[in-house]
């Protein structure tokens, strides 16, 4: 069984994709090391996380995800998508993308890696 990111001693590495249209920013190749997990967070106003992804196997209420605390977001396993199996094989990974609105999170798209 694989260890959680929180227990593994690894610290997340965030890659700044820049500013612009989200679909354009996500349409690029990014090299990642084996055993990486995917966390997608974005901001449409530059001040707060309001776009985020949750893995296909997420169960629960996306409205309960704490987005105002950056450390909480980095280690919340509910929003991490596995990119590799325990044996190092590449996995097809999907994230459902949500935008936080005044009435709560709304699914806006999905991302398949």
**pLDDT tens for residues 24-70?**
887 878 787 777 888 888 888 888 889 998 888 788 899 999 888 88
pLDDT on residue 8: 54
In whole angstroms, what is the distance from residue 99 CA to residue 76 CA? Answer: 17
Q: Where are the domains of the chain?
A: 34-112
pTM above 0.85, yes or no: no
Q: In this predicted model, what pLDDT tens digit does every residue of 84-103 receive, in sequence order?
A: 888 888 888 778 899 999 99
pLDDT on residue 107: 93
pLDDT on residue 1: 37
């Amino acid at each position: 069984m694989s260890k959680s990111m929180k227990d593994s001693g690894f610290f997340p590495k965030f890659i700044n994709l820049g500013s612009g249209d989200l679909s354009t920013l996500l349409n690029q190749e990014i090299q990642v090391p084996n055993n990486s997990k995917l966390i997608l967070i974005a901001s449409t106003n530059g001040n707060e996380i309001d776009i985020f992804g949750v893995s296909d196997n997420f169960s629960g209420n996306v409205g309960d995800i704490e987005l105002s605390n950056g450390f909480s977001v980095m280690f919340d396993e509910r929003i991490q998508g596995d990119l590799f199996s325990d044996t190092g094989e590449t996995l097809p990974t999907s994230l459902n993308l949500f935008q936080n609105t005044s009435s709560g999170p709304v699914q806006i798209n999905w991302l398949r890696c």
